[in-house]
Amino acid sequence: MQLQNILFSQGFGTRRVCAGLIQQGHVRVYLPDATEPVVCNDAAEEFEENGLRFSVQGVDWPYQALAYLMLHKPAGTECSQKPSTWPSIYTLLPAPLRQRPQKAAVQGVQAVGRLDQDTTGMLLLTDDGKFIHRMSSPRHHVPKVYEVTVKHALDEAQVQKLLAGVVLDDDPKPVRAAACEMVTPLHLRLTLTEGKYHQVKRMVAAVGNRVEGLHRSQIGGLALPADLAPGQWRWLSAADLQLISGAAKAAA
């Protein structure tokens, strides 16, 4: 693939902009077995894109045919391209991830599901529409683990009610936790395999308590890394994706 097309596919601007970056000497490419990148001024030069690493204006970038990443969502942010009150989570990502071309009208990576503005923790983003559908569909029962801080001390009866199922106001069918553990009297670890609106908060309210803090610590078999600080992101590896999809199949 031509280098200008590689940059375009990764979200570095239009083909003309990408060609300009290359011709102005802002793009360096890591050749096979090389430890340092070399400047490439030819926008039409061909490269094997799979496994390619390059840098644009000093920032290293790996070629990704499809982007899969994890963000540690901080409190006070909205999972929306057009937030109403709080800053958007998308402002935490570099411009190329927000500009990756897609066949759909919306550009860039998209969040897989949403977290409330006051909820923190693991959020997946991708430009793979099939992956978004698979992770979001209730048919696939992807387990998600939440660390819940509650206002009033928990008791075993509340835990058992959450496991047995509680009725929410918009659905007569009981909603059950896949797993529920009282870590401390004020800390509940809750695992869900569906994603109804404000589900954790409403389930906890249904057993006579109130959520004071909510943090998603795990999706599928993949836990939020301890060294990924709020507001930071990283690429998902093939092993990470297997942990997510493998747990989804086991739960189905």
The pLDDT assigned to 247 comes to 54
Strands (DSSP E) found in 156-244 = 166-168, 171-175, 179-184, 187-192, 211-219, 222-223, 233-235
Residues 54 and 20 in one domain: yes
Q: Is residue 124 within 8 Å of 69, Cβ to Cβ?
A: yes
Residues 186 and 122 in one domain: no
- Domain of residue 37, CATH code: 3.10.290.10
Domain final residue pick, 47, 62, 77: 62
What tens digit of pLDDT does each residue of 97-153 get? 999 998 777 789 999 999 999 999 999 999 999 999 888 877 778 999 999 999 999
Residues 149 and 208 in one domain: yes
7-12: long-range pairs with CB below 8 Å, 24+: 7/54, 7/56, 8/101, 9/49, 9/100, 9/101, 10/61, 10/63, 10/64, 10/96, 10/100, 11/95, 11/96, 11/97, 11/98, 11/99, 11/100, 11/101, 11/107, 11/108, 12/56, 12/96, 12/99
Domain final residue pick, 62, 83, 101: 62
What tens digit of pLDDT does each residue of 182-194 get? 999 999 999 999 8
Residues 228 and 127 in one domain: yes
Q: To the nearest 5 percent, what fractions of the chain are helix, strand and coil? A: 25, 30, 45
Report, as an integer, the average pLDDT of 80-88: 92
Return d(Cα 106, Cα 125) in angstroms, integer: 14
- Domain of residue 117, CATH code: 3.30.70.580
Residues 130 and 180 in one domain: no
Residues 116 and 130 in one domain: yes
Q: Which residues 6+ apart lie within 8 Å of 75 measured at CB?
A: 117, 118, 119, 120, 230
* Domain with 35 in it: 3-62
What tens digit of pLDDT does each residue of 23-48 get? 999 999 999 888 889 999 999 999 99
| pLDDT > 70? residue 202 | yes
Return d(Cα 98, Cα 77) in angstroms, integer: 16
Quick one: pLDDT band at residue 252, thresholds 50, 70, 90? very low
User: How many domains does one find in the chain?
Assistant: 3
- Domain of residue 192, CATH code: 3.30.70.1560
Residues 206 and 239 in one domain: no
What is the set of active-site residues? 116
Strands (DSSP E) found in 31-109 = 38-39, 53-56, 59-62, 68-73
Domain final residue pick, 28, 62, 96: 62
Phi first, then psi: give them for residue 115, nearest 5 degrees.
-120, 145
Q: What is the DSSP letter of 221?
A: T
Quick one: pLDDT band at residue 248, thresholds 50, 70, 90? low
Q: Is residue 125 within 8 Å of 112, Cβ to Cβ?
A: yes
Residues 105 and 42 in one domain: no
Query: Average pLDDT of the chain?
Result: 93
Residues 31 and 52 in one domain: yes
Residues 165 and 202 in one domain: yes
Residues 43 and 81 in one domain: no
| pLDDT > 50? residue 172 | yes
| pLDDT > 70? residue 84 | yes
Q: What is the percentage of the chain residues whose pLDDT exceeds 90? A: 81
| pLDDT > 80? residue 250 | no
Residues 228 and 114 in one domain: yes
Q: How far is CA 84 from CA 78, 98, 102, 198, 216, in A?
A: 8, 19, 25, 18, 23
Q: How many CB atoms lie within 10 A of CB 42?
A: 12
Phi first, then psi: give them for residue 191, nearest 5 degrees.
-115, 125
Report, as an integer, the average pLDDT of 11-24: 97
Return d(Cα 227, Cα 250) in angstroms, integer: 28
Report, as an integer, the average pLDDT of 44-55: 95
